[in-house]
Structure 1
Amino acid sequence: MPWRVSLTVRILAVNIIALALLAGSLFYIDSYRNELLAERYRLAESEVEITAIALAHEPLADRLAMLVRIGADQRLRLRLFDRDGKLVGDSFALAAPSYRLIDPASEPWLQDAARLLDSGMDFLLGTPPIPAYRDPTDTRSRAWPEIAAALEHQRTWISHKAAPDRTPVIIAATPVGTEGEALLATRNARDITENVRMARQTLAIIVGGALAVSILLSLFLARTIVEPLRKLVRSAVRVRLGRDRSVIVPRLPARRDEIGLLARAISDMSGALRQRIDAVESFAADVAHELKNPLTSLRSALETLERVEDPNLQQQLVGIAKDDVRRIDFLVTEIADASRIDAQLSRTTFEPVDMARLVRALVAEREQRGVNGTCPITIVQENTRTQGGALTVPGDAARLERVLQNLLDNAVSFSPPKGPIEITLSQTDKRVNIAVVDHGPGIPSAARERVFERFHSLRPSREEFGTHSGLGLAIARTIVEAHFGRLQATDRLDGAPGARLLISLPLWETAP
């Protein structure tokens, strides 16, 4: 199922869930309260049993004094019952009470809020309800089920109930001697409630503070991540719609993280896309322009042919039409090749190509076909790594041969009759250099980059119109750059007139 929640909400959720797990520890404070109660049970058991042993061997007058003293020291209310269940002595009646149960109505509202929180936590934890503590109006032992249980089982019996302010009242009953007497001790353990509330309050403050900091940091993180992404999305949409050619994709130069890298990558990608679109549009316009001339000439020749009766003139018009058709066929072939070359090279697996062997085979093949005219071609191999001249580069041999064919065709077309053409092979800085040098008029400095543009051509005046498409050098540079190389036009090294077209390719062992 696809995500339909924004990245900001997800960042907040991830951080808050972690804190929610921490907040869940509030519920474990209930076990802390149970441990405190269990400890007080043990203390109450020890106190009431020790007191019962001490009372068993004392006369009544001393017993009452001991009840008062122990009750005051231990903050207990001690009641002594005889064998008939009659109340013999009550430490709170014999002396001032050592504690008082608090009336909730007399406390501030903060205590009401604390009790409400206690009730809420008990409800969430499913804590069984605790019976309310009230002093019975009947003063006999039968009003206390703890005493009946202690006498029946002849051991200490402990329970606890809730005071009006929801603090625990621990009740402990134990037999005194063997005559059926019983001792009842009650204690208002307010400190248990205070400790539990303090622990909850401390943990709640920590969780609340951590939650606030987490939300702020999450919002800051979301802003630093989501806002730049939204800007990039808006810019990408505007680029896709193409409604504004001047859309600038933010590069976020101040950011050195992945978002900054993404922004600059998208910016570069959109720039390259615009250049590619512009190049395609320019190429389409150039194709239309280049095809329009021979088509116009062809149409004119055919229209004129219908009205001409002179056989010689008809033959001339037919010749013009054939030339135009040949030009159109040549242009279409070159344009198709130029259009496919990038895609084909991107799928080509490069293999080692011996450039010296390739050049020698190509020159021999051209001489056999006689396409060099009267221009002799000389191969010069210098500065090679080995005496045999192993100049191996990574590439597609057929494509590299196409580059050399185009450069040699260009050199032949510009060279004067019987003008020599030199191919120099050398190696420098782990690169293979192939230079094609002619003795023609050379290329002006201002035009040395323009000659590699599509359909740009500086043709010699003696050449028949339509012989070249103006794509040869553009195709050659595209192929060379796809082989991680460079193709450029320079002056002859000896200063003589002529052009020097230099190919530089990486050696096979250093190829990327």
Structure 2
Amino acid sequence: MARATALPTMRDAKRPEGSIAEQEESPLVWSSRWSLTTRILAVNILAVAMLAGGFYYLDTYRSRLVDTRIEVMKDQLAMLDAALEAARPDQRQRLVDEFAATTESRLRFYDSSGKRSFDSFETGPQTYTLRDPDLQAWQRDAARAMDRGIDWIVGAPSYPDFLEPMVDTAAAWPEVVEAQRSGDVAIRFRYAPERTPLLSAARVVDLETPQTVLMTLNARDITRTVRAERFRLAIVVSVVLMTSVLLSLFLARTIVRPLRRLARAAVRVRLGRAREVVVPRLPSRRDEIGTLARALSDMTQALRERIDAGEHFAADVTHELKNPIASVRSAIEGLGRVQTDEQRAQLLAIADEDVRRLDRLVSDISEASRVDAQLSRTLFEPVDVGMMIESMLAGRAARAEQRSGQPRIAFARPRKDTTTVMGDGHRLERAIDNVIDNAISFSPEDGLVCIAATRLGDEVHIRIDDDGPGIDPDQRDAIFRRFHSERPAGEAFGRHSGLGLAIARTIIEGHAGTIAARDREDGKRGASLLITLPARPDRENHTETG
């Protein structure tokens, strides 16, 4: 395993159980039961709902229009008061009629006794008409219903309906009574029968005798303006809502559908009902879902290869164990039939050799089965490969493994720290030792095994050459398979388990490296095995050293 995989594993192993999931994912409780489609729709519709908040602004806009109109009415009454005071008595009626026509309002005057003394609707044309809603088309009813609904939603203040008094006196108008009492302008807002604003303002004017003028105005234009703006806003909100829903469904479709395909494929892999489950890779997608799909596909393929390798390994182990077990059984059964001590000693020697062979085989099988799992939990450290090989060879010399008649070993030692890699020193030593053992076993007596460790760019190369017969090109990958049985001529049967190079390749690949067989670079007879490992990244690059 590469260090990028090993390091997080070691850190995660030290955390309390469950802490990894808590740190990596903190699901929202309120949405834990919602599907992705529902969540996407909810988020986008919420954005549209915020846009619909423009209706609150329109209510404020209407209030400002009403306030502006009221202020205008106050100014108009003040101007009317000044104009009446300056005009001659015979000009006042014409002045009032013209004022009412210009402002499209109705003017009524009440004397100090409360009796109506003048009405512009009686002396001139009616400037507005209160319409009966029962006589209007259904579209107006729908508009009024919409007005009431929006007013209720935005919490608009409620105003009373306008009713023309049966007896038109000053006492019938609260604003007139208030103006007479306070001496200031009094304002009232009411709804006309067709639900349009009816504004009224009362003011005391000084003529020959004090009188109170009541100005009423049906501000139908305010309703038309607000309804037009609401209609435009409703169209915008409807279009945005429809677009948002369609885009949300499209987005949910592009997200949820591939996730469902991946989930179904993962379930089939888990159930194991289909041997060759195809996990969609979604090559056309370059987003996170495409990355997830390809990662799941690669993971499934790696899992399938791991299962296949395990099955093949179990079959190979069974096959390899049967031969020595059968030999031991045969030797034990023969002990009861032999007559001489010499024959009995031969059978015991055979049984002893087979037991030793079984012991080596079981040890190598155990090592091969656990090396990959152990590497995934190992914290890699800097390892100087040159120093490690030198120590290995010194240990071999101390154990007198280079006895007479065995190949010699030559090592071109590199400078210190030029061949440093990140890895597990014990495992790397085992892998290189297995390759050296393989080279020694194929080399002739008094041959030479050459070892070199160099750094080239961002890689460390370890080359092991022997003087053996070499390796056929079609066998250069097969020699790294478990229980590969091609052995040098004359070697005693069962001396090697056939797992040495397989274990070496597993260790090297676990360090993100490669191992390959090739011809010797010097053109001599023999084989050359090249191990390539990533160099330690925080060191200055070096070239070949002797």
Q: TM-score, normalised by structure 2?
A: 0.86
Structure 1 pair 314–120 and aligned structure 2 pair: CA distance change class (3 A): same
The corresponding residue for 1:23 is 52
- Contact persistence 2:74–2:201 (CA under 8 A): yes
Which of 228, 240, 245 is the equivalent residue of 2:270? 240
Secondary structure (helix, strand or coil) at the match of 2:329 reads helix
Q: CA deviation at 1:510?
A: 6.5
- State the AA in 1 paired with 2:466: D
Q: CA deviation at 1:473?
A: 0.9
Output the CA distance in 2 between the equivalents of 1:445 and 1:300: 39
The corresponding residue for 2:312 is 282
Output the CA distance in 2 between the equivalents of 1:247 and 1:298: 44
Structure 1 pair 68–264 and aligned structure 2 pair: CA distance change class (3 A): same
Structure 1 pair 224–173 and aligned structure 2 pair: CA distance change class (3 A): same
Structure 1 pair 61–140 and aligned structure 2 pair: CA distance change class (3 A): farther
Q: CA deviation at 1:12?
A: 1.0
Q: CA deviation at 1:71?
A: 1.3
- Contact persistence 1:402–1:476 (CA under 8 A): yes
Q: CA deviation at 1:470?
A: 0.3
- State the AA in 1 paired with 2:429: E
Structure 1 pair 413–191 and aligned structure 2 pair: CA distance change class (3 A): same
The corresponding residue for 1:92 is 121
The corresponding residue for 2:5 is none
The corresponding residue for 1:414 is 442
Question: In the alignment, does 2:191 pair up with 1:165?
Answer: no
Q: CA deviation at 1:26?
A: 0.8
Secondary structure (helix, strand or coil) at the match of 1:504 reads strand
Q: CA deviation at 1:436?
A: 2.6
- Contact persistence 1:381–1:389 (CA under 8 A): no
- Contact persistence 1:151–1:180 (CA under 8 A): no
Structure 1 pair 109–416 and aligned structure 2 pair: CA distance change class (3 A): same
Deviations 1:100-119 (A, max 9, x none): 11121232222111100111
- Contact persistence 2:418–2:454 (CA under 8 A): no
Which of 479, 482, 489 is the equivalent residue of 1:451? 479
Deviations 1:431-472 (A, max 9, x none): 443333322222222111100101112112322211100001
Question: In the alignment, does 2:401 pair up with 1:375?
Answer: no
Deviations 1:260-286 (A, max 9, x none): 112111111111111111111111111
User: What 5-or-longer segments of structure 1 have no aligned partner?
Assistant: none
Question: In the alignment, does 2:463 pair up with 1:463?
Answer: no
Single out whichever of 475-484 and 48-57 deviates more from structure 2.
48-57
Alignment of 1:110-259 (within 5 A): 110-177=139-206, 179-259=209-289
Output the CA distance in 1 between the equivalents of 2:460 and 2:163: 105
- Contact persistence 2:512–2:533 (CA under 8 A): yes
Secondary structure (helix, strand or coil) at the match of 2:483 reads coil
- Contact persistence 1:375–1:420 (CA under 8 A): no
The corresponding residue for 2:19 is none
| Larger RCO (CA under 8 A, 6+ residues apart) | 2
Output the CA distance in 2 between the equivalents of 1:226 and 1:274: 26
Single out whichever of 486-495 and 72-81 deviates more from structure 2.
486-495
Question: In the alignment, does 2:510 pair up with 1:482?
Answer: yes
Output the CA distance in 2 between the equivalents of 1:202 and 1:485: 68
Structure 1 pair 488–77 and aligned structure 2 pair: CA distance change class (3 A): same
Single out whichever of 301-310 and 42-51 deviates more from structure 2.
301-310
The corresponding residue for 1:405 is 433
User: What 5-or-longer segments of structure 2 have no aligned partner?
Assistant: 1-28, 542-546
Q: CA deviation at 1:175?
A: 1.8
Aligned residues: 509
The two structures, once aligned, show a CA RMSD in angstroms of: 2.6
Question: In the alignment, does 2:358 pair up with 1:328?
Answer: yes
Q: CA deviation at 1:392?
A: 3.9
Structure 1 pair 88–250 and aligned structure 2 pair: CA distance change class (3 A): same
Secondary structure (helix, strand or coil) at the match of 2:100 reads helix
Question: In the alignment, does 2:472 pair up with 1:441?
Answer: no
Question: In the alignment, does 2:349 pair up with 1:313?
Answer: no
Output the CA distance in 2 between the equivalents of 1:102 and 1:390: 100
Output the CA distance in 1 between the equivalents of 2:497 and 2:503: 11
Secondary structure (helix, strand or coil) at the match of 1:160 reads strand
Structure 1 pair 147–298 and aligned structure 2 pair: CA distance change class (3 A): same
Question: In the alignment, does 2:335 pair up with 1:302?
Answer: no
Which of 94, 106, 112 is the equivalent residue of 1:65? 94
Structure 1 pair 149–461 and aligned structure 2 pair: CA distance change class (3 A): same
Structure 1 pair 63–325 and aligned structure 2 pair: CA distance change class (3 A): same
Output the CA distance in 1 between the equivalents of 2:537 and 2:85: 106
Alignment of 1:16-55 (within 5 A): 16-55=45-84
Secondary structure (helix, strand or coil) at the match of 2:53 reads helix
- Contact persistence 1:425–1:434 (CA under 8 A): yes
Question: In the alignment, does 2:268 pair up with 1:268?
Answer: no
- Contact persistence 2:407–2:443 (CA under 8 A): no
Deviations 1:197-256 (A, max 9, x none): 122222222222111111111112112222111111111111121111221111111111
Secondary structure (helix, strand or coil) at the match of 1:176 reads strand
Single out whichever of 447-456 and 471-480 deviates more from structure 2.
471-480
Structure 1 pair 141–400 and aligned structure 2 pair: CA distance change class (3 A): closer
Instruction: Give the share of equivalent positions with the same residue, in percent.
Output: 49
Secondary structure (helix, strand or coil) at the match of 1:158 reads strand
Output the CA distance in 2 between the equivalents of 1:143 and 1:397: 105
Deviations 1:449-503 (A, max 9, x none): 1001011121123222111000011112222233343322222334443222223
Output the CA distance in 2 between the equivalents of 1:113 and 1:452: 85
- State the AA in 2 paired with 1:463: E
- Contact persistence 2:458–2:535 (CA under 8 A): yes
Structure 1 pair 248–51 and aligned structure 2 pair: CA distance change class (3 A): same
Secondary structure (helix, strand or coil) at the match of 2:214 reads strand
